[in-house]
Amino acid sequence: MAARRAALVVGLLVGAVIVQVSVLAPVIPTAVVPDVVLVVVIAVGLCSGPTDGAWAGFVGGLLLDVAPPADHLLGRWALAMALAGFLAGTVDRGSRPSWLSDGATVAATAFVGLAVFALTGVLLGEPGLTLAAALPVIGLAVVYDVVLGLAVVPAVRMLLVRAEPAPRVRW
Amino acid sequence: MARTRTRPDREPRRPRTVLLVLLLAAVALISIDLTGAGSPARTAAGAVLGPLESGANRLLSPFGVDAFATRDDLRAKNADLEAENARLRGLVASSDVDRTRLAEYDALAAYTTAADLETVTAHVVGIGSAQSFRRTVTLDAGTTRGVRRDMTVLGPDGLVGRVISASPTNATVLLLVDADSVVGARLGAEHELGMLRGDGSVSGTGRLQLEALDRSAVPEVGDPIVSWGSRGGVPYIAGVPIGRVEKVVESPRDETASVTVAPYVDFSALDTVAVVVGARQGS
């Protein structure tokens, strides 16, 4: 069951990389593109906890690090997304999911992920990258991600529940 | 349900330990890549993910009907591409510097080196997002079609960039506007030389900054800029139009001028490009 779930998540992440790089990037008029991979990672974290979120973030980030147009240092997205997925997983899952809490979680964790990625770039001396230039980009990206998250989080939740129909036992 | 009672905690006990291990793994990857050892992983991933990107782009782009193209369509498309190829070749030979005094010399010099270019036409199938703070794109042509590292990439309007890595089926291109991109440039009618750097801006088409090697010569607004060209045409061939001088800000104190160049190519709307794979020998 865990294997099925893991396979589903990896499949989702590969699909997300392709959609982000090849489908959305040429269509969206701005250079900023919705972070499909990051939103899927956050959704996995939200739906199945910090451990799964961190793993999904690491794998998804690594995919985005090596997928063709990437030229930054390997592991930067993996670092940022592992953190974002973990943080999304620590949100209290006892309460019923609502659009508002989903949106707020996506906004906060996406900001952390994007900011950590930009910060590692600044620390590692990536050319032409300053925090002043990064902030508007991150701001617009967070807006995109929240909009995307409102659709993706419920979809991922449904898929994960379907992959593992056993109810959670509480007593 | 007795089974769950023996293992009430279905998740691993310590998510923080997992996170720490993963973060350390990512840091390790970064430091490995700092030594330059990461490129095989990138090439391997490109071999798998590249064709997926090409396929997705072909299927889901507005020209998605291409997937169901008949042979006549393909033939017509081939003719179109050949025509475009010829146009690109003509463009390289007769660059926009024509109107300047140097036109004849440049045309002659460029003619011998650049008129007989062998190019591979390719489409942009993947674009790096601005959140990565790099300006790179993926092409659907790779080493099997002769595309290699450090080859010049041309667009219909002028210079686009250079190939920085290639897998069998795909290639990654560093665009001129990337902050890491430096091109030798020749400007104006006085045959001055300078270096063009991308400003790394991630919005819009981007601008280039020119550093003239001769500080005393200040270019004028509207001066055309062509590529200088390196030995053996690596990574940039000579005589390709790049852009026009858009703004000159002189600072008299340190006798320098900050020159902004507007590229001819619209980097936010790239589609068909040509990779210069070599000059035809013996022609």
Q: What is the pLDDT of residues B174-214, one digit of tens each?
A: 988 888 888 888 876 566 778 888 877 766 567 888 877 76
Does B40 score more than 90 pLDDT? no
In chain B, positions 12-41, which contact chain A (CB-CB < 8 Å)? 12, 15-16, 18-19, 22-23, 25-30, 32-34, 38, 41
CB pair distance less than 8 Å for B131 and A138: yes
Q: What pLDDT does residue B188 have?
A: 63
Cα(B46)–Cα(B105) distance, integer angstroms: 42
B27-46 average pLDDT score: 85
CB atoms within 10 A of CB B55: 15
Cβ(B22)–Cβ(A55) under 8 Å? yes
Residue B11 has its nearest CB partner, among A18, A51, A66, at: A51
Does A147 score more than 90 pLDDT? yes
3-state SS class at B147 = coil
Cα(B215)–Cα(B225) distance, integer angstroms: 17
Residue B45 has its nearest CB partner, among A25, A35, A66, at: A66
Does B89 score more than 80 pLDDT? no
Residues of A in contact with B46 (CB under 8 A): 66-68
Cα(B216)–Cα(A49) distance, integer angstroms: 63
Residues of B in contact with A46 (CB under 8 A): none
Which of A132-136, A154-158, B7-11, B255-259 is predicted least confidently?
B7-11
Q: What is the pLDDT of residues B126-179, one digit of tens each?
A: 888 888 888 889 988 888 888 888 888 887 778 888 898 888 888 999 988 888
Residue B190 DSSP one-character state: T
Residue A69 has its nearest CB partner, among B18, B128, B202, at: B128
Cα(A48)–Cα(B14) distance, integer angstroms: 14
Q: What pLDDT does residue B69 have?
A: 44
Who contacts B83 (Cβ-Cβ below 8 Å, separation ≥6)?
A: none
CATH: 1.10.1760, 3.30.2010, 2.60.40, 2.160.20. Which one for A2-163? Answer: 1.10.1760
Residues of B in contact with A71 (CB under 8 A): 128, 134, 136, 164-165, 172, 174
CA distances from A35 to A13, A106, B59 (A): 11, 11, 21
The minimum CA-CA distance between B274 and chain A, rounded to whole Å, is 17
CB atoms within 10 A of CB B252: 7
Q: What is the mean pLDDT of chain B?
A: 74
CB atoms within 10 A of CB A166: 10
Residues of A in contact with B127 (CB under 8 A): 21, 25-26, 33, 69
Element (H, E) at A78: helix A76-90
Who contacts B218 (Cβ-Cβ below 8 Å, separation ≥6)?
A: B212, B248, B250, B257, B259
Tell me the residue type at B237: I
Which of A144-158, B3-17, B142-156, B207-221 is predicted least confidently?
B3-17
Does B110 score more than 80 pLDDT? no
3-state SS class at B126 = strand
Tell me the residue type at B276: V
Is residue B61 very low, low, confident or very high in pLDDT (cuts 50, 70, 90)? low
Enumerate the domain spans of chain A.
Answer: 2-163
Which of A82-91, A115-124, B173-182 is predicted least confidently?
B173-182
A106-129 average pLDDT score: 90
Q: What pLDDT does residue B106 have?
A: 44
Residues of B in contact with A142 (CB under 8 A): none
Residue A96 DSSP one-character state: P
Nearest CA in chain A to B46: A68
Q: What pLDDT does residue A73 have?
A: 86
Residue B128 touches partner A, C-beta closer than 8 Å: yes
Q: What is the mean pLDDT of chain A?
A: 86
Element (H, E) at B22: helix B15-34
Is residue B39 very low, low, confident or very high in pLDDT (cuts 50, 70, 90)? confident
Does A86 score more than 90 pLDDT? yes
**Phi, psi (rounded to 5 degrees) for B226:** -120, 165
Q: What pLDDT does residue A59 have?
A: 94
CB pair distance less than 8 Å for A25 and B126: yes
